[in-house]
Amino acid sequence: MDLLFSLVINGLMLGSLYAMVSVGLTLIFGITKVINFAHGEFMMIGMMLTYIITTYLGIHPYLTLVFVVPLLFLLGIVVQKYLIEPLKDSDEHIQIFATVGLSIAMINLVLMLAGSNNFNTPSSGLRETLGLGAATVLTGQVVIMLCSIFMVGGLHLFLTKTQMGRAIRATAQNRNAAQLMGINVSRINMVTFGIGIACVGIAAVLLSPLYPVNAQTGQSFVLIAFVIVVMGGLGSIAGAFYAALIIGLVDAFAGFYLGSSLKDVAVFGIFLLVLIFRPSGLFGNARKLAHVS
């Protein structure tokens, strides 16, 4: 019983970390219809920034949110405006290739500047363990769990209760009609991309005290994030959140019972089953997928 409880708690901790990484990706896809293959690299840049700022200013890693999140928001806007927007009249796959190119460029830029070294952001006590009943977790993991709930809830409120949020949803549902309401669709795309990247910026800051960062770090997270986005029903924020928790649980249980070398088999096996039996995702529906494509 204690073991079960401990595995569930650890699965949920890991799942909320995945949720934080995936939320921005699904938001960007749901609204702008761009599959952002550079998502992991934005996170890697965010973690690098967190490391640099924490080390040089000597501040608590969480305080770097003040710098990292606005910077990544701006970076997202710049990328949307100068890379993706100019390609909007070409085929969709051209935009996707552009984000793949961006991903490669970002990795190699970091390799050039910093080599392939690991950088460890000071943990500032966030790696200390906490007892939650029978389970043992890191302080930083609890913070990530709470923040992921706030992030998903906050995005939901933003999208449903504010004028800008409604305009973003309207654009996703009917681009033409949105323009006829006077909505500047290019601006909506820019803001959405910015918000999506800012979300992965928050994830980057919270992850940094727990994980070392190198040029390839983004790659290791983004594959799982894509699995989650698809399982959650492409573009659904709540769907991605629940899918992330499921993947986290599968990861924890498979890691314990099958061993860490086989746990990816379990994760991707479940993903394949979902694709075969619910191709529109666990929380999507066929109609939604149709309007997305």
Binding site for other proteins (CB under 8 A): 163, 166-167, 169-170, 173-174, 176-185
- Closer residue to other proteins (CB): 81 or 166: 166
Phi and psi, residue 115, nearest 5°:
70, -165
- Closer residue to other proteins (CB): 176 or 293: 176
Phi and psi, residue 111, nearest 5°:
-60, -40
Q: How far is the CB of 230 from other proteins (least distance, A)?
A: 20
Q: How far is the CB of 207 from other proteins (least distance, A)?
A: 33
AA identity, residue 27: L
- Closer residue to other proteins (CB): 162 or 219: 162
Q: How far is the CB of 290 from other proteins (least distance, A)?
A: 12
Q: How far is the CB of 173 from other proteins (least distance, A)?
A: 5
- CA distances from residue 160 to 22, 110, 189, 291 in whole angstroms, order as listed: 20, 38, 17, 19
Place of tokens 């549902």: 173
- Closer residue to other proteins (CB): 3 or 177: 177
Q: How far is the CB of 176 from other proteins (least distance, A)?
A: 6
* b/e sequence 254-276, b meaning 16+ C-beta within 10 Å: bbeeeeeeebeebbeebbeebee
- Closer residue to other proteins (CB): 118 or 173: 173
Q: Give the E-state strand segments of the chain in sequence order.
A: 129-132, 135-138
